[in-house]
Amino acid sequence: MSRALSLAALIVAYALVARLVSRPDIVPPPAHVAEAFAALVARGYQPPASEEHQHHHHSSEQVDTLLQQGVTLQASLAVTTGRVLFGLAVGLPLGILVGLVMGFWRRADDYLHPVYVLLRSVPPLALITYIMLWLGHSEAHRLIPIVYAVAVTAVIPTYHGVRDIAGKYVVAARSLGAHGRLLLGKVVLPAASPAILGGLRYSVAIAWMTAVGAEMLMAENGMGNLLVGGGMWSSRLQTRSDPAVIIVGILALAAAGWAMDFAARTFAARLTRWAR
């Protein structure tokens, strides 16, 4: 209740600021944002023949360009969501595996940890051009940075989760004769799973951030393209963007990010119900 109220207050406050500044090209009033939203969504299923109201007050260069290219909000969001999901699907198992190995075998940790620290330090977005030179201009240089970012992020909670398991669990299981797969599957993994799943939220957030960044730098589709027109790496963002479109994009991203975080939390809570 109070949340809804303060959300309404937020919108009213923004509208007031927009009116005070009265520069729609810098701070677009909510009406402009709504129009940009309608224009970006409607293009998807509105037959182009409907010529009755061509009088939208707010028609910017960026909206027109996007509409000409057939870009819609929902399609862009779907593309980005797909990339995020791919990054999570490949990156999470990879990161969790490395985290398990490093957390469980001290010897492997001694050797792998320094290498991991080096890899972790490299911002994934800095790798885009190098990947492109190896694999050509393709989907790979958008997906690999996301996978990389997710994997590197998923290692940490897994590692600490495995490390922090009370030593007596492992000792007790060992003294009862459990080892190898049994020990890993029945003791270590379940005991570490709250930490692993708790870290899922960070991976989701990082995946979105990297996906949008990669698309802003070089992609012809997705939310990053909607925001800056793609290929910033070469064009260096010389064009002045329309803030209404950007606000629509940011709101959509915030909503999608929230939805995925919610799903991750629900999923984690279900899987670790036994822990409470």
Partner 1 sequence: MMRSVKVRRAIVALATLAVAYGIAAEIGRRTLPDRVWLGAHYVENVKLLPTWGALAEEGAFLIESRILPGSIAVSTTRVFLGLLLGSVAGILLGLLTGWAARIESLADPWVTFFQYTPALALLPLYVVWFGYGEASKILLIATNVAVITLLGAHQGVRGVPRVYLDAAASLGAGPWLRFRKIVLPAAFPAIFASVRIAAGLAWVTIVVAELIDARMPSLGYLLALSGAYPRIPTMLIGIATVGALVLVFDLLALLLHARATRWMGRAG
Shortest Å distance, C-beta 64 to partner 1: 17
User: Of 66 and 227, which CB lies nearer to partner 1 in the complex structure?
Assistant: 227
The residue among 71, 236, 84, 101 whose CA lies nearest residue 147 is 84
Assess contact for 75 and 128: CB atoms under 8 A: no
CB of 271 to partner 1, least distance (A): 22
Stretch that binds partner 1, among 38-46, 50-58, 114-122, 175-183 (CB under 8 A): 114-122
Q: How far apart are the first and last CA of the chain?
A: 28
Cα-based angle 56, 57, 58 (whole degrees, multiple of 5): 95
Query: Is residue 253 close enough to count as binding partner 1 by CB under 8 A?
Result: yes
Q: Which is nearer to partner 1, 39 or 253 (CB)?
A: 253
Assigned token pair, 126? 């800095």
Q: Which two tokens stand for residue 192?
A: 């570490």
- The interface region with partner 1, picked from 69-77, 128-136, 173-181, 191-199 by CB under 8 A, is 128-136
- Closest to partner 1 by CB, 10 vs 176, is 10
Q: Which one among 6, 46, 74, 266 touches partner 1, defined by CB under 8 A?
A: 6
* Cβ density class 168-193: b for 16+ within 10 Å, e for less: eebeebeeeebeeeebeeebbbebbb
Stretch that binds partner 1, among 31-39, 168-176, 185-193, 209-217 (CB under 8 A): 209-217
Cβ atoms 184, 104 nearer than 8 A: yes
Six token digits for residue 100: 């398990």
Could you count the other beta carbons within 10 Å of the beta carbon of residue 129? 13
Is residue 186 a contact residue for partner 1 (CB under 8 A)? Answer: no
CB 223 within 8 A of CB 80: yes
Query: How many chain residues bind partner 1 (CB under 8 A)?
Result: 63
Residue written as tokens 């293009």? 43
Distance set, CA 107 to CA 97, 113, 118, 186 (Å): 16, 10, 18, 22
Tell me: does residue 26 bind partner 1 (CB under 8 A): yes
Binding of partner 1 by 7 (CB under 8 A): yes
- 198 lies in the binding site for partner 1 (CB under 8 A): no
Q: Which of residues 93-112 bind partner 1 (CB under 8 A)?
A: 107, 110-112
Nearer to partner 1, 125 or 162 (CB): 125
Residue appearing with tokens 């000409």: 68
Residue type, 183: L
Q: Which of 52, 53, 234, 276 binds partner 1 (CB under 8 A)?
A: 234
Residue 247 in the binding site for partner 1 (CB under 8 A):
yes
Q: How far is CA 33 from the centre of its chain?
A: 23
> Which residue's CB is nearer to partner 1, number 20 or number 49?
20
Under the rule (CB under 8 A), what is the footprint of partner 1?
2-3, 6-7, 10, 25-27, 107, 110-115, 117-118, 121-130, 132-134, 136-137, 205, 208-213, 216-217, 223-224, 227-228, 232-234, 236-237, 240-241, 243, 246-247, 249-250, 253-255, 257-258, 261
